[in-house]
Amino acid sequence: MTTIMQARPVTERAMELLRRAGNPFRNYFARNADDEVCAQYHVHELYSLQREQLLAVVDLYRYSPATHSEVIPILGNKGAGKTHLLHSIKHGSEGAWQLLITPGTYQKDAEFLEYLLFQLIDTLLGGGKQRDTRPLEYVGEQVVRGLLAQALTQLTVTQRLELFPPPGMGWVRHFGLGVNQAQERAQHLIDNLSRPLSLPFQPGAIRRSCDESGLPVDSALTLLLEFIDRSEPRNTTGLMRRNIFTGFARAMLLGDEAELATFLTYGFAELDFQVRPSRLDLVVALFKALMGVLQALRVPVVFAFDQLEDLLLARRSDDSHRVAEAFFAGLVQAMHQLNGIAFLVFAERGLWNRFVPSLDGYIQDRLNNPIHLAEHGTLSSLKLEAPPAELVCRVVEARLRPALQSLGLADTASLPTLFPFTFEQVERIAKTEPTLRDMLQQYRQLFDAIVFRMGEVPQETPVNRLPAEPTLVAVKSVVIVTDRGYDQPPARETQPPVPMGSGALTPPARRALTNPAPLALVELWEQEVRAARRQLEPDGALTGATRELQAGLGTFLRVGFEQGFKVGPWRMSHVVPEWVFGDHPTYGVLSLAHWVCRGGQPWKVGIGLFLAKAAAKPRDLQTKLGVFEVEPVVVDHLILLRPEDDLAITGKSKTLWQEAEKRGRQARLEPVSLEAFSILYAFPRIVSSLTESLAEGQPLPSLADLVQERCEKLLEQVCMPVQG
């Protein structure tokens, strides 16, 4: 059989392999800056100049950390390749490492500096990798290496002898024996710690160096904590730096990341201040302390806002000008208050040209302020134009060749480089389509027409020629929208809310079996939820993602309201995705949902995250319960989502809860799995990816079946108050 196969012409065998491999152009746009498809089909020469210029901007903040913050717009039509370019900077091998923050949400109702700070914390503590490295591990390794080397250098001879005792009885040290050995071991460790990090970066180098020198990690930690306490001043900045360094030390030496996460979300607001600072002052103080640590390491901090049109205008009904003006005003505020940040804004050229000229003059001046680069001159913006045909051929080849090579066709080299296309076909599309995405869509259709036409290639039709007959257009799906009949607000119900148990949810899972979601939507869902789970798995990552998870919860509720998600007889009549209150930057935020059923007035339900651990739990709970004191009444019932493996309330937290119950406050805790938190984290990114793939003015496709199939329990947990 193999001999017969090999006797067939190579083009015929190649076509069979391509049919088996599937269409390599089916993924024709990057969903986000972490999409693995970007690396799979990367062509280095594509936008190489723009990449060099952006890396030069990053290096400007590496070698001059105190440079004032600036904005660089990267402009191009939808589908020009902006997200792919961002991916190559975040995950590519060019240039040194930088901390690149790519927000997946825009929390328009939060203070902009708060929003930026918690995006930074989420990126730092999360499990997501940049160039195969977790930011916490890369930054923490450098911080602790430097501090430990300084601490060792300042030790006296006697202290080194105590830290590196010679083997044998105590009388050996009594007579001063072993001093040289202790000195050598200490110096060997100092030399190891002072060397630049080896590439590719491997975490755990500090512990390995301590082991080689015979220094137990507990002794190293004690030495380090004493040095930090002795060297840092007692002012606000010094207190914050002391806690940040302590958190990094415990994370790197003991693998305990919880203390750093707790300080960055709770402890920074609980320091012993002589004068209690405002909420914004606390945010700025922590932001500057973190920036100081990173700048001392020469680690550039880059905020890259991708797909700006979808990030800002998640709802097509939003007041687009007001939202955009708030975003750009916040950006300028951050530039004024914080130095050393490079802001990269990837936006459609039309959106940029529509919004920016209408902004206030001082905002325009800062956004248009140029940056001077040594080898590239003055740079005020980057424009991505359609690539020339030669580069497009490289892009097409990068997708076609791996399909044949992965299936083991030995004589692939004998085929034309663009097989099954011809150069003329590729060039024609490259010269007539406006963007790279449009080109890839055309190549997808061309590939189907050539390779999958009737399941085989007709003999009379050359394999390198597009069939003359037109391609049939099939209707893939139809969405029927019906009026649910809730025009008038009903009166407040007189009966208690119905319990939520078996049968409370309208039969979504059963309906989904007969009306499955489109395969592409399911694949997108699973990919984003997997990525979110990786981000949230490390110890401390869930705590650090508090504000991002709250934003995801708000998006989940908003989309549920817009698409009519139901739980039994209940539906949402109004949603406020994020409502900020109180004076605590981390805990003072809730999502509001008004749930209603026939015969009853809406219940105002506040839904928040209760993620704090250990000593932070009472403060988190106290802040959330404080919503009942707001006048006029905002919340009738409070739902707090708590990790299912840490549901117990004890001590002061239990006292606070019992006091609230005595005062008639209606609240409940809901145990939430990591998978459910991953869904909340991923949800805004799923919506953004769907929006990015839609044509202008096209509504968001129905998510009801998929959401109610995958999130049945989560929907129940955020629904109406329930009797126990």
3-state secondary structure of 565: coil
Q: What is the mean pLDDT of residues 452-479?
A: 42
Identify the burial level of 391 via C-beta atoms within 10 angstroms of its C-beta, where 0-12 means exposed, 13-18 middle and 19 or more buried: middle
Distance CA 610, CA 624 (A): 8
DSSP 609-646: E----GGGHHHHHHHHHGGGG-SS---SEEEEEEETTS
In this structure, are residues 300 and 130 in contact, taking their beta carbons and an 8 Å threshold?
no
| pLDDT (average), residues 708-720 | 89
Cα 39 to Cα 88: distance, rounded to the nearest angstrom: 8
pLDDT in tens, 616-659: 999 999 999 999 999 999 999 999 999 999 999 999 999 999 99
Residue 462 pLDDT more than 50? Answer: no
**Range with top average pLDDT, 169-183, 289-303, 369-383:** 289-303
Render pLDDT for 569-606 as a digit per residue (tens, 0 to 9).
888 999 999 999 988 999 999 999 999 987 778 899 99
Q: Is 137 helix (H, G, I), strand (E, B) or coil?
A: helix
Strand pairing category for 566-567 and 570-580: antiparallel
Q: Which range, of 168-177, 493-502, 517-526, 691-700, averages the lowest pLDDT?
A: 493-502
- The residue-averaged pLDDT of 32-53 equals 89
296: which DSSP letter?
H
Over residues 216-242, the mean pLDDT reads 94
pLDDT(555) > 90: yes
Comparing C-alpha atoms, which of 345, 348, 350 is closest to residue 363?
345
Q: How far is CA 526 from CA 46, 408, 682, 706, in A?
A: 29, 29, 10, 11
**Cα distance between residue 298 and residue 666, in whole Å:** 50
pLDDT in tens, 397-437: 999 888 777 656 666 677 888 989 999 999 999 999 999 99
Inter-residue contact 533 to 572 (CB < 8 Å): no
pLDDT at 472: 39
Domain ranges of the chain: 2-29+387-455, 36-132+300-383, 135-281, 508-717
Of 4-8, 23-27, 359-363, 510-514, give the lowest mean pLDDT range: 510-514
Q: What pLDDT score does 564 carry?
A: 87
Q: Quote the crossing angle between the two packed helices 82-91 and 48-63, to the nearest 10°.
A: 50
Reported confidence tier of residue 295, pLDDT bands at 50, 70, 90: very high
Q: What is the DSSP letter of 499?
A: P
- Amino acid 165: pLDDT: 82
Residue 502's pLDDT band (cuts 50, 70, 90): very low
Closest alpha carbon to 52 in 9, 99, 13, 94: 94
Question: What is the model's pLDDT at position 529?
Answer: 95
C-alpha R_g of the chain:
29
pLDDT at res. 58: 96
218 C-beta neighbours (distance < 10 Å), count: 10
Count of Cβ atoms closer than 10 Å to residue 612 Cβ: 25
Retrieve residue 643's tokens. 């990790």
Mean pLDDT of the chain: 85
Place of tokens 């930026």: 116
Check residue 478 and give its pLDDT: 38
What is the predicted pLDDT for the residue at 408?
66
E strand or H helix at 575: strand 570-580
How far is residue 542 from each of residues 227, 268, 611, measured CA to CA in Å? 30, 18, 7
CB atoms within 10 A of CB 151: 21
- Taking the C-alpha atoms of residue 670 and residue 601, their distance in angstroms, rounded to an integer, is 24
Cis peptide before 632 (omega within 30 of 0): yes
Could you say which architecture CATH assigns to the domain 36-132+300-383? Answer: 3-Layer(aba) Sandwich (3.40)
